[in-house]
Amino acid sequence: MTADAVLATSRLAGIGRAEVEEFLYREAELLDDWDLDEWITLFTEDARYYVPCNDAPHGDAARDLMLIDDTMFRLRARVERLNSRKAHREYPHSNTSHQIANVRLGEVEGDELTVRAEFSVWRFRAERAMCYVGRYTYRLRAVDGELRIVMKHCLLSNTTLRQVSDVAIIL
C-alpha cells in the first residue's frame, strides 16, 4: 500500500505532500524569524529533537555522544535560554536561512507519518557565514487536525567536527 493510500485511511487523512511541505516551510520561517515561542508549539509533549555527532551519524543516544538530544523538557529550556540575554552566543540573534528541499513522505505507522527532507541552514553572525547541510527525518502526528512534530532528527552531512562544533542555533 502506498503512503498516500495509508494516509487516506489514517488519522492523517486529508494531509498530503502539499500540507506537509507547508508545515515544514512554516517551521523554517518561525526559526528564521526567531519566533521560538511559536515554533515550540509545533511539537507534541512526547517530542524529541536530536542531532548526532557527524563521526557517529546513526549513533544511539544511550551509548554515543550527541550534539543535541532534547526531550520536550530540554527543548523548552533551550528555547528559554535562546530567548534570553544569557545565550551570549546568540545575543543578538544570528541571521539564519533555513532551506528545505526534496520532501518525501515515508511510512505511516499507527498515527505517525515519517517525512524526510534535505536541508541547508545558513547562519550569519559577526561577519562570518556558516552552512549546516544534511537530512531531516521527522515523525509527524495529527493533533486536533493539525500536524505536530513527534521527532526531529537532523543528520549533518558536514564532514568535520570543526564545521559543526558550534550548533548554537536550532537546525
Residue range 128-167, pLDDT digits in tens: 888 899 999 999 999 988 999 999 999 988 776 566 556 7
Average pLDDT, the chain: 86
Average pLDDT over residues 9-18: 74
Q: Is the pLDDT of residue 56 over 90?
A: no
pLDDT, tens digit, 9 for 90 and up, residues 87-135: 667 778 889 999 999 999 999 998 999 999 999 999 998 888 888 999 9
pLDDT over 60 at 8, yes or no: no
Using 50, 70 and 90 to split pLDDT, how confident is the model at 75? very high
Q: What is the pLDDT of residue 158?
A: 79
- For residue 136, CA distances in Å to 14, 25, 116 come to 23, 13, 6
Contact 161, 55 (CB under 8 A): yes
Return d(Cα 42, Cα 78) in angstroms, integer: 15
- Residue 69 contacts by C-beta under 8 Å, 6 or more apart in sequence? 48, 50, 51, 61
